[in-house]
Amino acid sequence: MKSIISLISIGLSVLFGALFPSITFAADNAVLPPSITDGPYVFLNNGDENTAYWICQSELKQTSIEANTLIRPANCGDLPEPKLHTEAVIPDLDTFTHVGKIVALSDVHGQFDIMINLLQAHNVIDADHHWNFGDGHMVMTGDMFDRGHQVNEVLWFLYALDKEAQAAGGRLHLLMGNHEQMVFRGDLRYVNERYQVSLDLLSRSYASLYDKDTEIGRWLRSKNTIVKINNFLFMHGGISPEWVERKLDISSVNHLLRQHVDDTKEVLKNNELLNFLFFTNGPTWYRGYFEDALQGSDVDSILRYFNVDHVVVGHTSQDRVIGLYNNKIIAIDSSIKNGKSGELLLINSDKLTRGLYNGDQVQL
Ligand code: ZN
């Protein structure tokens, strides 16, 4: 009998492994709570458009979506209750001029509480998490997914903020990082282990929680990877000299990255241009600004090519927001991923300021 049970369990695990290819879950600093709340998840296929799925105290719940509003079930902590955007998801513009003030942050990696504290400390949002930055622009330079334990909270918050910013005459630029790309194509090595509970209850793979047939996945796939605002260029990794040699432009690259974000690694690697755009020297992975090989004249060529004075990047983690090459390159991945602190970059005309975790502001 025992051997039959073990055979069945081996069979099930083989079946599960085939359905949901191997995931090694990453833990952040938080200790796993005894029960999990997570969600909501909204799937747009199989006639499921009007249902929201929630994980409440490690149990699966579903509610119907009334008037585009999601209402959290009882005993489901303080999970977000988003209002769905009803309009078509059209790609954002990627060039802006005459913007008065800009705030930028990066690499939140599921650390919702740290992000909220930072944005509140610098009055970008109010006490109730609503947009408070007027006609200013906020730039998130990618890597919202992976490592941390509050990925959904981060995504639904930004989903709401996106619309609130526009309604106020401002903008949220949500740029794609390498971790968004990895999750979309099923590279799940850095997913926090707490999400295993949700996957088991929903009988889905992690990537399918954010595929193009989900509300959040559809919204994210409309986003850019690079944006130019005034004399600043923003992206996750950086612009390499190879970009300039290839004479690429922002809009066509944003379009290509949107178009191919669901392609497999093999497909991307087999296309010469896509292999550049999606990997080592492309805008979401490049780390050359932090390596000795790059010369100041290379940086100047990059700035000249785009007619900007600064390139702002995340991806390569620092203790704080730092300026390199006389602030021509600004590195804003301030290690929010560690779940203890972080910083913002504030830009007002050409004045560059570090927004510290305690609300203090220090000239860069
Ligand atoms: Zn990154």
CATH number, domain of 333, equals 3.60.21.10
Percent of the chain that is helix, strand, coil (3-state, to 5): 30, 20, 50
Specify the pLDDT at position 10. Answer: 41
Is residue 301 domain-shared with residue 182, that is, in the same domain? yes
Q: What average pLDDT does range 239-266 have in this prediction?
A: 96
**Does residue 21 have a pLDDT over 50?**
no
User: How far is ligand 1, taken at its centre, from the CA of residue 123, in Å?
Assistant: 26
How much distance in Å is there from the Cα of 179 to the middle of ligand 1? 6
Is there a single domain that holds both residue 183 and residue 296?
Answer: yes
Domain span at 229: 86-363
Report if residue 131 sits inside a domain: yes
For the stretch 17-20, contacts whose Cβ atoms lie closer than 8 Å and that sit 24 or more positions apart, written own/partner, are 19/205, 20/199, 20/204, 20/205, 20/206
Distance 50 CA to ligand 1 centre (A): 34
Q: How far apart are CA 223 and CA 211, in angstroms?
A: 14
Q: At what angle do helices 151-167 and 112-121 cross, to 10 degrees?
A: 30
Q: What is the pLDDT of residues 120-140, one digit of tens each?
A: 999 999 999 999 999 999 999
pLDDT tens sequence across 217-236? 999 999 999 999 999 999 99
Which pLDDT band, with edges at 50, 70 and 90, does 4 fall under? very low
Q: Burial of 88 by CB count in 10 Å (0-12 exposed, 13-18 middle, 19+ buried)?
A: exposed
**How far is ligand 1, taken at its centre, from the CA of residue 178, in Å?**
5
Contact predicate 337/345, CB 8 Å: no
77 assigned to some structural domain: no
Q: Output the CA 315–ligand 1 centroid distance in Å.
A: 4
**How crowded is residue 155: how many other Cβ atoms within 10 Å of its Cβ?**
23
| Angle at the Cα of 235 from the Cα atoms of 295 and 143, rounded to 5 degrees | 120
pLDDT of residue 339: 86
Stretch 287-294: mean pLDDT, rounded?
A: 91
pLDDT digits (tens, 9 = 90+) for 294-349: 999 999 999 999 999 999 999 998 999 999 999 999 999 998 888 888 999 999 98
Backbone angles phi, psi at 145, to 5 degrees: -80, 165
Closest CA to 175 of 117, 224, 129, 137: 224
Question: Considering its fold, how many domains does the chain have in total?
Answer: 2
Residue 69 within any structural domain of the chain: no
Q: Say how many Å lie between the CA of residue 64 and the centre of ligand 1.
A: 36
Same domain, 150 and 34: no
280, 197: one domain: yes
Q: Are 342 and 335 in contact (CB under 8 A)?
A: yes
pLDDT band per the 50, 70, 90 thresholds, residue 7: very low
In the reported structure, the alpha carbon of residue 121 is separated from the centroid of ligand 1 by a whole-number distance in angstroms of 25
Residue-level pLDDT at 47 = 79
Q: Which helix (H) or strand (E) holds 119?
A: helix 112-121
**143-191, pLDDT tens digit by residue?**
998 887 899 999 999 999 999 999 999 999 999 999 899 989 988 887 7
Rounded to the nearest angstrom, the distance between the alpha carbon of 138 and the centre of ligand 1 is 19
pLDDT recorded at residue 33: 56
Degrees to nearest 5, angle at CA 326 with 321 and 331: 25
pLDDT tens for 334-358 read 988 888 889 999 999 889 999 999 9
Q: How far is the CA of 289 from the centre of ligand 1 (A)?
A: 14
Considering the domain architecture, whether residues 145 and 177 belong to the same structural domain is answered as yes
| The two structure tokens encoding residue 54 | 């929630």
Provide the 3-class DSSP secondary structure of residue 51.
Answer: strand
Give me the pLDDT at residue 15, please. 46
Q: How far apart are CA 107 and CA 89, in angstroms?
A: 24
pTM of the model: 0.89
Higher-confidence residue of 273 and 206: namely 273
Percent of the chain with pLDDT over 90: 70
